[in-house]
């Protein structure tokens, strides 16, 4: 049985992101996967990296104390699925804070002779499910940071064999049919993920 950590970052239960989140969780559960559903807003995750945490950031071991429960959940995962909207060409602050506070030295990476080495290699599958208010061209012109962080930085920490980046662009003008089609695509991708 595969154990997936699904990290969800949207505050509104009626949002399309929430619907996508439900599709991901339901589809993986129906496959017989063990799903750890981490709804950052519902859990009240604090995204703020404190001064004390920053000063102790490189102290491998003690650095995890403030977020030990989340670190344990990441370490237990064999698959990681991120479900989030893109806001202002970036992650919601709560998800960025999750990366800042949980993807620590000794957790997502280790430093060896000044080089960053992957440390989440037990995560063999990595996916992101997201929506953008603007078009793909607007995202490209802005550098599309969320896509690059998932496909480069997060992937580097895992070296996952399977990587999916599922994005609905131009959400501000998407029709019901386009949203349904994207939701169907997400469901199909999670069935074979």
> What is the number of structural domains in the chain?
1
Beta strands in 27-75 (DSSP E): 34-39
Distance, in Å, from the CA atom of 24 to the CA atom of 129, rounded to the nearest integer, reads 9
High-pLDDT (> 70) share of the chain, %: 100
At 1 the pLDDT is 85
At 14 the pLDDT is 97
At 114 the pLDDT is 86
CB contact at 8 A, 7 and 82? yes
At 41 the pLDDT is 98
| CATH at residue 188 | 3.40.50.360
Distance, in Å, from the CA atom of 136 to the CA atom of 77, rounded to the nearest integer, reads 31
At 85 the pLDDT is 98
DSSP run (H or E) holding 189? helix 176-192
Distance, in Å, from the CA atom of 160 to the CA atom of 155, rounded to the nearest integer, reads 6
Distance, in Å, from the CA atom of 83 to the CA atom of 69, rounded to the nearest integer, reads 20
At 168 the pLDDT is 98
Beta strand pairing call for 115-118 and 109-112: antiparallel
Q: Give the residue ranges of the chain where pLDDT is below 50.
A: none
CB contact at 8 A, 126 and 79? yes
Could you report the per-residue pLDDT of 34-82, keeping only the tens digit for each? 999 999 999 999 999 999 999 999 999 999 999 999 999 999 999 999 9
CA 7 to chain centre: 5
* CA separation, residue 164 to residues 70, 86, 138, 174, 192 (Å): 23, 16, 21, 21, 11
Beta strands in 21-90 (DSSP E): 34-39, 79-86
* Among the listed residues 123, 97, 3, the one whose alpha carbon sits nearest the alpha carbon of residue 41: 97
At 135 the pLDDT is 94
Q: Which domain holds residue 176?
A: 3-192
């Amino acid at each position: 049985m595969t154990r997936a950590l699904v990290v969800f970052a949207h505050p509104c239960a009626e949002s399309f992101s929430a619907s996508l989140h439900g599709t991901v969780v339901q589809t993986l559960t129906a496959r017989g996967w063990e799903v750890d559903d981490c709804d950052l807003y519902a859990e009240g995750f604090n995204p703020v990296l404190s001064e004390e945490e920053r000063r102790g950031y490189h102290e491998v071991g003690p650095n995890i104390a403030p977020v030990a429960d989340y670190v344990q959940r990441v370490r237990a995962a064999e698959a990681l699925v991120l479900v989030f909207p893109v806001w202002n060409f970036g992650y919601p602050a709560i998800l960025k804070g999750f990366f800042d506070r949980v993807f620590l030295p000794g957790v997502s990476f280790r430093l060896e002779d000044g080089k960053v080495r992957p440390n989440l290699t037990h995560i063999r599958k990595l996916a992101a499910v997201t929506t953008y208010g603007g078009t793909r061209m607007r995202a490209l012109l802005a550098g599309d940071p969320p896509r690059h962080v998932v496909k480069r930085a997060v992937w580097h920490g895992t070296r996952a064999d399977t990587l999916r980046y599922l994005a609905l662009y131009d959400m501000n003008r998407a029709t019901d049919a386009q949203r349904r089609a994207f939701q169907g695509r997400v469901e199909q991708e999670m069935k074979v993920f």
